[in-house]
Structure 1
Amino acid sequence: MTFEPEALGQSRSDLAAALKSERKRAGWTQVRLAKRCNMSQTKISNIESGKLTPAIVDVELILHALGAEGPLAGEILALARSANTEWQDHWSSRRRGLDKKQNELARLEAVSTQFRYFLLSMITGLLATPEYVRASIADVPGDQSKTIAKKLERQRVLVNPEKTFTFLLTEQAVRWPLLPPIEMAMQMDRLVSVSRIPNVQLGVIPLAGHIPERPLNTFTVYDRRLATVETGTGALILRDHRDVNAYREDFERYERYAVWGDDCRALLNDWSVIFTRQHQ
């Protein structure tokens, strides 16, 4: 199935209709299907009405129970994969107001406990100084003071002892000169400070040696439930467990090339000194 961002919402209703049609074709009731799949009848009803987007594994269970196979089963699984993928383009986010996006992220952070951030080209808002936050959205027209305030307010989640954060940054992300040198030096100091928070791990992948990997995107993994992948024009939100696990595995591979703890802080301090000298 061709990926069409604008069709993702439609795929949810198409999936619901297809699963309902398959059940009726088999001559089964919702109760019988629910028992066969070890689900509740309410869950089956919500899936068929489109109120609940089923995980890929749920769809596989339903299709197996109904004996569906061949091209039709493949089409339904493709619909399920699209239904578990959401596209958020930058233009829509800007029209709604970037502060609304901050509210969404805060809600996601409230219900998640384990966070993995792979930062390929920039420093994320949770790690940023106010100056860096302001510069990161400088190209967005209008008054962004509310968005900046909410980005900084979200940083309080870092000291919540019930949550754990692992930030993995490339050297390029850390040293990209988004700000004047002295302000970049302050940003380095901010990273050093955050790295000392007990429930935070912060590592940097230096541009040295041999790294036989080719990361393409910035991404974040929330527990095992969700992965978000940044592109130049928006973000993909992936809920399929196979997608989420794939990004968790990518993260674990990249971790091997990073420096952590005191070695990481020494590197950040060296870069801070370089930026400071550039200012003088």
Structure 2
Amino acid sequence: MAIEPDELDQSGRELAAMLKHLRKQAGLSGVRLAARCNMSQSKISRIESNKGRPSLLDVEQLLRGLEATPAIAAEVMALARIAQTEWQDGRTLRRKGLDKKQLQLAGLEASSTTFRYFLLSMVTGLLATPEYVRASLAKAPPEQQTKAVAMKLDRQRILFDRSKRFTFILTEQAVRYPLIPPDELAIQIDRLASLSRQPNIQLGVIPMGVHFGFGSLNTFTVYDETLATAELDLGAIVFRDSRDVQDLISRFTGYEECALFGESAREHLSTWAESCRR
């Protein structure tokens, strides 16, 4: 099913309104429904006012408590699944200011302990040299660039927090993407090799020619086991549904099996860096 960005924005409000309507239609107060669902009345109030995002399990409990028909339950669950997904379009993010996106990412990094990055086409900001970061933001409004570059580079300090565990998997295309001149790209690749020696960082590479055995690929990040993001040219999709998150973790595990780590990865990185210098 195709999901339009507008649907993603509206789905939370629609879900809240539908659940409230079903409760009233059933002639139940919030207190009585809470008792039926073994849920607090305040939680139901937050859900119905769209101030709290219900999990799919929460919605299933409410539908059982409301004794919803199978047809109604299927409709509500479909809406709940969409509500667990959020579209962040690039135009809106740029209009609000790139610093807002950097603050959001910094917050996610501060509250998470395990990170999985699958990088299909470019190096992510946490691993990037200043030259690479500046080049990645070259099309941003000039008045936002300087601040965004500084914030991106400042976020890299999180890599040295030993309480955090990072796994980065990069395709050869991502490592060698010619965003910057060859001599600068060689330094960028050297940085990857250096970071791969960090005790809390696993950095793997997938050389061209490796057979995946999977479907289409895309860049994505998983934070702990609770939230994931997939990046597109036009924006990003945020997944909160545990089934979506687990599916991406399963895919990531498959990519790990294809990747080279440790000295094997560093040998390839060294070869690619020397190719840039030549």
Q: Deviations over 1:231-255 (max 9, x none)?
A: 1211111111111111111111111
Match of residue 227 from structure 1: 228
CA distance in 2, matches of 1:156, 1:224: 22
Q: Is the 8 A contact 2:133 2:152 kept in 1?
A: yes
Match of residue 261 from structure 2: 260
Q: Deviations over 1:204-257 (max 9, x none)?
A: 111124321234311101111111111121111111111111111111111110
Match of residue 148 from structure 1: 149
Does structure 1 residue 218 correspond to structure 2 residue 219?
Answer: yes
Match of residue 93 from structure 2: 93
Does structure 1 residue 108 correspond to structure 2 residue 108?
Answer: yes
- 1:243-254 matches, cutoff 5 A: 243-254=244-255
TM-score, reference length from structure 1: 0.95
Once the two structures are overlaid, the 10-residue window that deviates more, 165-174 or 38-47, is: 38-47
**Structure 2 CA distance for partners of 1:20 and 1:140, relative to 1, 3 Å:** same
Count of matched residue positions in the alignment of Structure 1 and Structure 2: 277
**Structure 2 CA distance for partners of 1:12 and 1:186, relative to 1, 3 Å:** same
- 1:59-74 matches, cutoff 5 A: 59-74=59-74
CA distance in 1, matches of 2:125, 2:114: 17
Amino acid corresponding to residue 261 of structure 1 in structure 2: G
CA distance in 2, matches of 1:55, 1:247: 18
CA distance in 1, matches of 2:81, 2:204: 33
- Structure 1 unpaired stretches of 5+: none
Q: Is the 8 A contact 1:181 1:276 kept in 2?
A: yes
Q: Is the 8 A contact 1:167 1:203 kept in 2?
A: yes
Q: Identity over the aligned pairs, expressed in percent?
A: 57
Q: Structure 1 residue 258: deviation in Å? A: 0.1
CA distance in 1, matches of 2:210, 2:16: 51
Q: Is the 8 A contact 1:185 1:276 kept in 2?
A: yes
CA distance in 1, matches of 2:35, 2:52: 18
CA distance in 2, matches of 1:50, 1:213: 38
Amino acid corresponding to residue 181 of structure 1 in structure 2: P
**Structure 2 CA distance for partners of 1:213 and 1:145, relative to 1, 3 Å:** same
Match of residue 3 from structure 1: 3
Once the two structures are overlaid, the 10-residue window that deviates more, 120-129 or 46-55, is: 46-55
Q: Structure 1 residue 2: deviation in Å? A: 5.0
Match of residue 179 from structure 2: 178
* 1:165 aligned counterpart, secondary structure: strand
Does structure 1 residue 78 correspond to structure 2 residue 89?
Answer: no
Match of residue 276 from structure 1: 277
What CA RMSD, in Å, does the superposition of the two structures yield over aligned residues? 1.4
CA distance in 2, matches of 1:210, 1:249: 17
Q: Is the 8 A contact 1:120 1:215 kept in 2?
A: no
CA distance in 1, matches of 2:166, 2:69: 42
- 1:132-171 matches, cutoff 5 A: 132-143=132-143, 144-171=145-172
Match of residue 193 from structure 2: 192
